Each structure stands twice: as structure tokens, then as C-alpha cells.
Amino acid sequence: MVRIAVLVSGGGTNLQALLDAQDAGGLGPGRIALVVSNRKAAYALTRAAEHGVATAVLSKVMQPDPVLYDEALLRILQENEIDLIALAGFLGIVGEKVLAAYPGRILNIHPALIPAFCGKGFYGLHVHEAVLARGCKVTGATAHLVTAGVDEGPILLQKAVDVLPGDTPEILQRRVMEQAEWLLLPRAVRMLSEQVEGEK
């Protein structure tokens, strides 16, 4: 079994996609063992609790120093014997120590086709606003490994999604979630879980 921590910040729809995939046997050897939120009011925590998954809250308010935050997060992950980390709408930054402890074992889902609309400033609705401002007709999502550079790690999976006339950032965000993120994230988690299981 590969123990997975899912890091969240908000509503947790990507977490829900992972929980649903797990229930359907879609995560292979992967098992969601912990949900960590950097916001105590994140609805994702409720979803986790309803699914019987352990939760932890570690916010900037609780720990404003980024180095100490990184250490506290690492401690929580190690105490829970986590093998693999999935960032699922997590708006924080993963620090050096966590990165060093989990090389090639942290994945993220980005709501655009990297290298387009990625890097600093491109998160949440801002991504979709930029896609619409450029007049793109195709966007998508990318599951990638997390390295020190923002959105610079190796790409695992990508899926294209059409931009349609009349789209608002909110409508486009929802379509990218439904047609790409919620499919790619469980597939990427399974791929990486199988790899980690093979290395054990």
C-alpha cells in the first residue's frame, strides 16, 4: 500500500475526484491516508472527515515563518508515514525540506497546458482570465511532478479542453475541472503510486 497525503486549500473538488477514484478502485496501490489544509475553513476537510480520512490544518496564521512551516509540514507527513503527496488546489508553496524528503513523489495539477499560463501569478481563476484575454480556443490541464521551480517539474499527463464562445473565467474553470483535472489527477496519482509501490 502507498500512503498518500492530499494537500488542499479550498472546496476540495479535486480531493473528491481522488476519493471517488479510490472508492472505484482507481488509485491502484494508492490509499488516501491524510488530508492537510492550509486553511482551517476549507470544505475539503469536511469531505475528508466524511470519508474517514485523517486531517490536519497547518496555516500561515499558525506558522508564519516559511522555514518552520516547511518543517512542521514534513513532521506531519512523516508522523503519518506518507509515501506520496498530491497537491489538489493547494495554494501554498512546498518548502525545501519537504521537496528533499519526497523527490519525484510530489505531484500537482495545473489548470492549463504547461508551458502556457504557468509559473508565478498563474493560479486559480487568474489562469482562466489570462487564457480568455489571449483569445485562446484551446486550454487544458497538466499533471506534473513538483520541483523547486513553480510549475517546472516533469509533465506526467495533459488533456486539452475547448474554450467556447461566451466563456467567463468561472465557466471555463469549471469545464477544465470537469473535463481534465478530475480525470488527470486520479490517473497521475495511480501512475505514481504504482511506481512507488514498485520501488518499495
The length of the chain in residues reads 200
148 near a second copy (CB under 8 A): no
Segment contacting a second copy by CB under 8 A, of 21-29, 36-44, 85-93, 128-136: 128-136
Between residues 101 and 157, which has the closer beta carbon with respect to a second copy? 157
Query: Is 182 a residue that touches a second copy (CB under 8 A)?
Result: no
As a whole number of angstroms, the distance between CA 154 and CA 176 comes to 21
d(CA 11, CA 183): 17
Stretch that binds a second copy, among 2-10, 45-53, 95-103, 137-145 (CB under 8 A): 137-145
Choice from 12, 28, 111, 140 touching a second copy (CB under 8 A): 140
Q: Exposed e or buried b for every residue in 91-122, given b needs 16+ CB within 10 A?
A: ebebbeebbebbeebbbbbbbbbbebbbeeeb
Alpha-carbon distance of 113 to 158, in angstroms, equals: 7
The yes or no reply on residue 150 touching a second copy (CB under 8 A) is: no
Binding flag, residue 107, a second copy (CB under 8 A): no
Q: Does 154 bind a second copy (CB under 8 A)?
A: yes
Residue 136 found at the interface with a second copy (CB under 8 A): yes
183 is a site residue for a second copy (CB under 8 A): no
Q: Does 121 bind a second copy (CB under 8 A)?
A: no
52 vs 135, beta carbon nearer a second copy:
135
128 is catalytic: no
What CA–CA distance (Å, rounded) separates 2 from 46? Answer: 23
Residue 61 Cβ vs a second copy, minimum distance, rounded to whole Å: 36
Give the shortest CB-163-to-a second copy separation in angstroms: 8
Q: Quick check: 117 binds a second copy (CB under 8 A)?
A: yes
Of 94, 104, 87, which Cα lies nearest the Cα of 35?
87
Helix orientation angle between 125-134 and 169-176, rounded to the nearest 10 degrees: 110
Q: Which residues are catalytic?
A: 110
* Contacts with a second copy, residue ranges (CB under 8 A): 113-117, 134-138, 140, 154-155, 157-160
